[in-house]
């Protein structure tokens, strides 16, 4: 069975492999990307969904913990790095 997940910005349903997985780890409540166990939020790897999420602070709400601007910057950098690979 495929694991379908939902983007916190655009609500697109797709296989979890296409999304960033943002994890709030337990018990130390760190915010991590693509690793760790804990509450997870999924986000399309697109600028549109990232900016929408940042504007409405959707990651903080989805994870029920404050997500810093720095973390959004890390995701933006991931997008830039991904483009460089192509």
Contacts to Zn ion by CB under 5 A? 7, 9-10, 12, 44, 49
Alpha helices in 1-86 (DSSP H): 47-55, 58-63, 69-85
Q: Closest distance between Zn ion and the C-beta of residue 66, in Å? A: 21
Give me the least distance between CB of 8 and Zn ion, in Å please.
8
Q: Is the link from the previous residue into 33 a cis peptide, with omega within 30 of 0?
A: no
Nearer to Zn ion, 49 or 62 (CB): 49
The distance of closest approach from Cβ of residue 60 to Zn ion in the complex, given in angstroms and rounded to an integer, is 17
CB closer to Zn ion, 16 vs 29: 16
C-alpha 67: how far from its chain's center? 10
Picking from 51, 45, 55, the residue whose alpha carbon sits closest to that of residue 83 is 45
Cβ closest to Zn ion, residue 12 vs residue 33: 12
């Amino acid at each position: 069975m495929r694991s379908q997940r939902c983007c916190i910005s655009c609500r697109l349903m797709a296989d979890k492999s296409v999304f960033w997985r943002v994890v709030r780890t337990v018990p130390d409540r760190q915010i991590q990307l693509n690793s760790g166990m804990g509450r997870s939020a999924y986000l399309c790897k697109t600028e549109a969904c990232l900016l929408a999420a940042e504007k409405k602070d959707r990651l903080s709400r989805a994870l029920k913990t404050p997500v810093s601007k720095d973390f959004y910057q890390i995701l933006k950098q991931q997008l830039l790095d991904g483009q460089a690979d192509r």
